[in-house]
Chains A and B, each alone.
Chain A
Amino acid sequence: MAKKMNLKDMEKKSWRYSMQDGLIEASIGILLVVLGLLLSIEFTIVFIVVFFIIFMNPLLEIIRKKFTYPRIGRVKVHEDPTKKTVGGISLYMIVVAAIMGVGMFVIFGEINAENIYRSLPIFFSIMILGAMLYSYGKSGSLRFYIYAALAMVTAPFFSFINFEGRLVSLGYYLLFIGFIFLIIGLIIFIHFLRKYPIQREEITDDN
């Protein structure tokens, strides 16, 4: 008990601890890849996206029951109320869209469809930035800053390269960033499996 006890830090540590398996990164990666495929290659796979969004949490829970919980235990952290989260995300999206609209008008003198489609990767990168800053606030983990920086730095390239099709630049951006999330998530997951071998039977509740 010589260690200093800071409840806020303990809460962040619990959050970090429960998310250290990399499965969140991997699932975000898969979601972005599927969205990217939908926008850039094949519009008919929209049902896969819907399926994935609906079943992402139950699937994640099944994987965690099999691999994560037997290794590090299970903790349910305090979550913000859904209403507050949805309200916050919506407000953030509106503010970012408004600022980008004003910025576009100042730079180009008009807001047209072509500019809007071109700016979509940047808009999405700012959405990712918001999500990562939120996650950093909850966990205190610096890796979320790295993800945010990566998303922000790469987005302009996809906005300025000319692609055939209006949503293709956004699609390729999501594919790119999704693959990165997926790869990082899988690397973290493999590292996690090696770091935490399954606990011996006597440590479970059987005794």
Chain B
Amino acid sequence: MTTKKNRAIDDIRQVSAVDKIIHEPARLNIMAHLYVVESADFLFMMRQTELTFGNLSAHMSKLETAGYIKIIKEFVGRKPHTMLKITGKGKQAFDDYKKQMKSFFNEI
């Protein structure tokens, strides 16, 4: 009985330990796209994630604040251009998230 209870508590702990910054679907989508490429610009991310400009901006800011992505602002000609790149910390966080989710679902 105690073992069952302990296991249930462990499961709850595991779920609550999931990185909530990445766990949000839109941010998970952004992170996954940046994980598989070296860098991408804003337009590419908009098309791939199907997020609106405002939505993408908001999620990007959260990911940048967490240190998971790097936002590089530059000028191409006279137009501002934003490149996005996943950081080492972001890659690690994404790998950890994948592992956590895999082990969690394996145990269900």
Contact = CB atoms under 8 A, between A and B. Distances in A.
A10 B48 CA distance: 10
Nearest to A10: B36
Interface stretch (B1-9, B39-47, B62-70): B39-47
B43 A206 contact: no
B99 interface: no
Given A10-B32, A203-B53, A76 B80 contact: no
B38 interface: yes
Interface of B: 25, 28-29, 32-33, 35-48, 53, 73, 76, 79-83
Nearest to B73: A205
B79 A206 contact: yes
A142 to B, nearest CB: 20
Given A69-B41, A72-B47, A205-B42, 4 more contacts: A17-B44, A70-B43, A75-B41, A205-B79
Nearest to A204: B79
Q: Which 7 A-B residue pairs are closest in the complex by CB-CB distance?
A: A73-B44, A73-B43, A11-B36, A1-B25, A205-B80, A76-B38, A75-B40
Contact of B37 (A65, A70, A77, A204): A77
A154 interface: no
Contacts, number: 76
A85 interface: no
A12 to B, nearest CB: 9
A72 B44 contact: yes
A14 B32 contact: no
Given A76-B37, A78-B38, A1 B28 contact: yes
A27 to B, nearest CB: 21
Interface of A: 1, 5, 7, 10-11, 14, 17, 65, 69-70, 72-79, 199, 202-207
A77 B67 CA distance: 21
B32 A204 contact: no
A128 B47 CA distance: 32
A10 B33 contact: yes
A69 B42 CA distance: 11
A76 B39 contact: yes
A79 B73 CA distance: 23
A65 B53 CA distance: 21
Contacts of A70: 43
